[in-house]
Amino acid sequence: MLNPLKGNGVKKGICAAAAAVLLLQGYLSASIDDSTPLSSQPASGGTGWDLVWSDEFNGSQLDSSKWSRQVSSKSRNPRWDKGIHDWWWKAGNAFLDGNGKLILRAEKHDWNTLYCGSVNTNNLYEPRYGYYEVRMKNADTSKAVHTAFWFQGDNMGNVDGSGADGAEIDVFESAWVGDYTKSVVHIDGYGSSKQANTKRWNAPGIHSGFHTYGLEWTEDYLKIYYDGQLKTQYTNAKWIPQVGEYIWLSDGASFGDGDFQSQPNGFLTDAEVEYVRVWQKDTSAQQITDDTDPAVQYSDGWGLWTGNPSYQNTEHFCNTPWKWAEFTFTGTKAVYYGVKRKDLGIARIYLDSVLQTEIDCYSSQAQYFTQLYETPWLPYGTHTLMVRVTDDKNPASSGIEVIVDAFGSFAAYPADLNEDQRVDMLDFSELALGWEESFNLQKLSELTAQWLLQ
C-alpha cells in the first residue's frame, strides 16, 4: 500500500496505515477538552490568552493521552513526627468520580502507612511558558495529608547553580492548617547540592471549598495566583526554568501540620480537581529560539561560534557524521534555521524520531540565518525536531559540516488555517513518514490490521 516518493535523496512512505500508527500513539487526541469554553481566560483577569490545552475530567476514565497515574516503587519519605512510617502513591487512589472531578484519595492502610493519589503529564505534555490554572478542593490537612499543584523538569537533577535547565516548581502545598501556604522552587536535584527558594503567602479559605491556583510563567518571571489574585513571584533568572516541564497533581503525607495517628484505618480524605487549563500568548506568531537556548540539546562533537551575521551572534557547527542537535518544543509547528555555504554538507531531519528528509546545505553564495526546513502543521503537543550530520555532501561542496543557528516554533494554529490542513486531520500530501531507519513495516502492518479490525 505504500506509495514511495522521491525527495532530497530520501524515500518517503505515506499511506492510510500511518493513520493507525498516529492514532495508536495518541498523536490525534484532542488537546483542548470539548467542554472547555474556548473563550475562557485565566481567573487572574488577564486578556489576550489563547487556550491550548485543558482537561475538565468528564467521563469515568482518566485520559491516558494527557495523564499517567504515579505508582511508588518504594515508600516515599516517612513523616516520623506524624507516625507515618510509609506512604505510597497508588494507581487506584487517582480516579474520576463520573461527575466531572478528578479524585486524589488518601487512605490509612494501617497504623503507620498512608496511600495517596498522584497524576502527571510526564512524556505526554511538557510545555514551556504560559498560564496554568487548576480549580480544586484540597484534602483535609488536619489528617496529615497535603495537596499539591506543581511542575517538574526532566533535567532538574543537573547541578549547575541554575534552574534554567529544569526545576521543581511547587505552586502550592497545603501542608499547614492555617490560612496560608508556600510556593517553592527547587533546583540542582535533591542531594547535597540542592537549593530551594520558599515564599509564604496568605490564602484565605484554602481549607474549605474550591479555589483556583495559577502559574504565569515567562522567560523572565514566575507569578503565583490564588483565586485570581497575585500572591508572590520569582524574578531572579536563577529560579526560572527555560525548558519544558510537566504538570503534577498529588496528595501525600504532610511535612507540616496534621494528626494521622488518631485517625481510623480506611478512607481519610479526598482532593478534588474540577479542571486544569493552559493558555499561551501570541500563539499565532513564530517564536525564535536561539541555538544556545536550553531547549536545544547537542550530542558531543559540536562547537560554538560567535559573531555576525548569525542570529543573536551565535551558531553551533559540527563536521562529525551522525552527531545531532535536538530542539524540543510544545506547539504545532517548528522551523530549522541554519546556514548554506560552499563548504557545508547534507543534514538529515527527524521529527519525533522519524526520519523526514535530507537537506543539502551547499550553496555557492553564503546564506546566513536561512530557513532550511519546516514541519507540517502538527497535533498540538510536545515534539522534538532533530538535525543530524551525515557523511554525505553535494559533489561541489568542500566539506560535510552542518550548522544550527536557531529554531522557530508556533504555539497554536493560525486562525485562518483550515481544519483539513492540520496533520491531526491527516493531510497525507504533507505528512512524510520516513522509513529508511526508523520505520518497521512489519510492525506497522500488524498495528494497521489491529486498528482496522476495531
Which pLDDT belongs to residue 453?
A: 42
What residues have CB less than 8 Å from 102, skipping those under 6 apart? 55, 57, 62, 94, 95, 96, 119, 249, 272, 273
pLDDT tens across 304-318, in order? 999 878 899 999 999
Report the distance separating Cα 403 and Cα 303, nearest Å: 10
CATH superfamily of 5-24+284-453: Galactose-binding domain-like (2.60.120.260)
Phi, psi (5° rounding) for residue 248? -135, 135
Mean pLDDT of the chain: 87
Which residue carries 512510617 as its cell? Answer: 85
pLDDT tier, 267 (very low <50, low <70, confident <90, very high otherwise): very high
The answer to whether 335 and 385 have CB atoms below 8 angstroms apart is no
Cis before 4? omega within 30:
no
Report the distance separating Cα 183 and Cα 171, nearest Å: 5
DSSP 3-state of 313? helix
pLDDT tens across 45-84, in order? 878 899 999 999 999 999 999 999 999 988 888 899 898 9
Is domain 31-281 annotated with CATH 3.10.129.10? Answer: no
Instruction: Provide the residue ranges of all domains of the chain, joining segments of one domain with +.
Output: 5-24+284-453, 31-281
Among 281, 285, 289, 280, CA closest to 329 = 289
More confident residue, 436 or 99: 99
Across 319-366, the runs of DSSP E, i.e. the strands, are: 324-331, 333-340, 346-351, 354-360
In this predicted structure, the answer to whether residue 41 has a pLDDT above a threshold of 50 is yes
Q: What is the mean pLDDT of residues 278-299?
A: 91
Sign of torsion over alpha carbons 395, 398, 399, 401: negative
Is this structure's pTM higher than 0.75? Answer: no
Sign of torsion over alpha carbons 168, 169, 175, 181: positive
Q: Assess whether the region 5-24+284-453 and the region 31-281 belong to the same CATH fold.
A: yes
Q: What is the mean pLDDT of residues 126-132?
A: 95
